[in-house]
Amino acid sequence: MLCLTLTASTLAENKALVEKNRSWIGAAELRLDHLDEDELKVASAFPSTVDLPLILTYRRASDGGLCTKNEKDRLQTLYEAAKGGWAYVDIEEDVKKSDLKCKDPLFEGRVDLEESLRARNIRIIRSYHDFEGVPEDLFGRVNRLAGKGDIPKVAVTPQSLLDVIMLFQVEEQLAHIKEKIIIGMGQLGIPTRILYKRLGSMLSFVSDNQAAPGHLGPREMSEVYHADRIDRNTHIYGVIGNPVYHTSSPKIHNRGFEAIRYNAVYVPFLVDSVRSFFKLAELLKIRGFSVTIPHKQAVVPYLGKTSREVKQIGSCNTVVRIQGMWKGINTDYYGFLTPIQDRIASGSIKSALVVGSGGASRAIVYALINHGVKVTILNRTVERARKLGDETMSGYDSLENAHLYQGSVDLVVQTTSVGMGELEGTNPIPSFAFTGKEIAYELIYRPEETAFLQAAKRAGCEPVFGKEMLIEQGKLQFEAFCGYHFPHWIPLDL
């Protein structure tokens, strides 16, 4: 199930959050450390207002929470709030036994918090958090947490793809622990949240406001990734890159899979090592994946078979499992051509300026020269532009000299990452003055209108948006992945 973490400051606001997200979640977690002090006094009544299993949590600052009280006071507050009808109460694994003794006016002496919960059949989640990494004794730690019959929860922060592999090995190593919660925090850990069932985890936390590092929204987890419906028979596909979470590709592929009723999910993987990803792909039995910056050339040595385009270009954006081996193809080549094919065929595009010389640029340069278009490659590092230019018998130059080509080309293609992320609002060729006669083709699709396209549109140029290529090459990938044409009736408003 998907569990919504509630971090509003009042119980009424938290109830409203549950109602807003009710159709996508199966449980909710109330975080006492986010409540106003007056609200803490009546928190025990919250379960009576919500028709979902609820987890009660009061997180210390050292575990990523907001509570700064001493342990005695924190656990006393937790004890009072826990008098309600909660399904679970979260208690950290290092809480001292002596601190669990709480005051209760109905009893003489002190009452043990854990014993009082068990007496009312409230399950205890025994939690461990590590915001720095993944402990080497991960499997043993989960075993120890489960030792008292409680539900073990480990929330750790993978620092590499090898750490992510360790998390995905938990279910294989600890299948005898039927109820457990395994979480990889941060960006590297996002696939563990989507594929939580493949870790043997009983739930995955979601939130409207990223209450913890790597949280996705409940609607996205349910409607885009169908995370709560993934089972052992679900085929896994993905996209690898660094960065990767800006991608809209999951919306294309997951909508397509759902439309044709194909039990599959397409997941983004932040990849720091291509070699490590192929190990993870074997572990998860991944059937195919898209490749984006900066791995389009790095994956090629790991492929057992490659298409004619990949052999020529030396760049691969799609990998599929065929007859026990990995095959690489390049759908960027044809996806790029589709929006401008008629202009090339009619002769209105005879010359092009290509900005950048990375993996995507290689596919585009080859696509253009193979269709008779004269190309000049501009790159910040002239040596890289020269290498690609020599391979393709194209011209090359430095980005600083972009202005020398204004008015002399029919098409300008922007293939770099300049214009997105930290570089949003930056034009990679600020010295180039559009005349209004060029077609300006941008590969970035988020933001939809970059500084490059804005400059072109001001001059009266025809723009080609990055999402057009994304959709066209994505449809070709979809067919390579599952053998079906992409359903034409699916709207793709990215």
Task: DSSP letter for 404, please.
Answer: G
- 124: amino acid identity, one letter: I
Closest CA to 478 of 244, 260, 243: 260
The CATH number of 2-224 is: 3.20.20.70
What mean pLDDT do residues 373-382 have? 97
Span 334-367, pLDDT tens digits: 999 999 999 999 999 999 999 999 888 999 999 9
Position 433: which residue type?
A
User: What integer pLDDT is reported at residue 108 of this predicted model?
Assistant: 76
Question: Distance between the two ends of the chain, CA-based, in angstroms?
Answer: 27
Compute CA distances 48 → 11, 41, 43, 44, 384, whole Å: 12, 15, 10, 9, 65
DSSP calls for 100-129? GEEE-TTSSSEEEHHHHHHHTTPEEEEEEE
Cα separation of 145 and 125, whole Å? 9
Answer with the residue of higher pLDDT: 105 or 102.
Answer: 102
Q: Is the pLDDT of residue 211 over 80?
A: no
Q: Is the pLDDT of residue 493 over 80?
A: no
- What's the pLDDT at 289? 98
What would the CATH number be for the domain defined by 334-471? 3.40.50.720
CA atoms within 13 A on the CB side of 67: 22
pLDDT exceeds cutoff 80 at 240: yes
Residue 388 tokens read as: 């690609």
Task: Encode pLDDT of 103-120 as tens digits.
Answer: 998 887 789 999 999 999
The pLDDT assigned to 360 comes to: 86
Summarize the confidence of residues 32-54 as an average pLDDT.
97
Strands 318-322, 351-355: pairing is: unpaired
Domain ranges in the chain?
2-224, 241-331, 334-471
Identify the pLDDT of residue 407: 96
392-401 pLDDT, tens digit each: 999 999 999 9
Tens digit of each residue's pLDDT (9 = 90 or more) over 150-204 = 999 999 999 999 999 999 999 999 999 999 999 999 999 999 999 999 999 999 9
For residue 201, give every residue at least 6 positions away whose Cβ sits within 8 Å of its Cβ, in sequence order, or none.
180, 181, 182, 183, 192
Sorting pLDDT into bands at 50, 70 and 90, what band is 421?
confident
SS3 372: coil
Task: State the pLDDT at residue 42.
Answer: 97
H or E element: which one contains 325?
strand 325-329
- Dihedral, CA of residue 63, residue 68, residue 72 and residue 75, to nearest 10: -60
Instruction: Report whether pLDDT(214) > 90.
Output: no
397 forms beta bridges with 378
The answer on pLDDT for 494 being more than 80 is: no
Q: What percent of the chain has pLDDT over 90?
A: 92
> Does this chain's domain 241-331 share its CATH topology with 334-471?
yes
Rounded to 10°, the helix 359-369/382-392 angle is 30
241-331 is classed in which CATH architecture?
3-Layer(aba) Sandwich (3.40)
- CA–CA separation, 386 vs 397, rounded Å? 8
Nearest one of 180, 159, 158 to 170, comparing CA atoms:
180
> What is the set of active-site residues?
296
Around 284, how many Cα atoms within 13 Å sit in the side-chain half-sphere? 34
pLDDT at 212 over 80: no
Query: Sign of torsion, CA 430 432 435 436?
Result: negative
Q: What is the rounded average pLDDT for all residues in the chain?
A: 95
Q: Could you read off the pLDDT of 136-152 as tens digits, one per residue?
A: 999 999 999 998 899 99
Long-range contacts of 41-48 (CB under 8 A, 24+ apart): 41/80, 42/11, 43/11, 43/80, 43/81, 43/84, 44/80, 44/81, 44/82, 44/83, 44/84, 45/11, 45/84, 46/11, 46/14, 46/15, 46/84, 47/84, 47/85, 47/86, 48/84, 48/85
Q: Is the pLDDT of residue 444 over 90?
A: yes
Residue 42's Cβ-side half-sphere holds a number of Cα atoms within 13 Å equal to 9
Count other C-beta atoms under 10 Å from residue 5's C-beta: 23
* Residue 449 pLDDT level (bands cut at 50, 70, 90): very high
Distance CA 150, CA 124 (A): 5
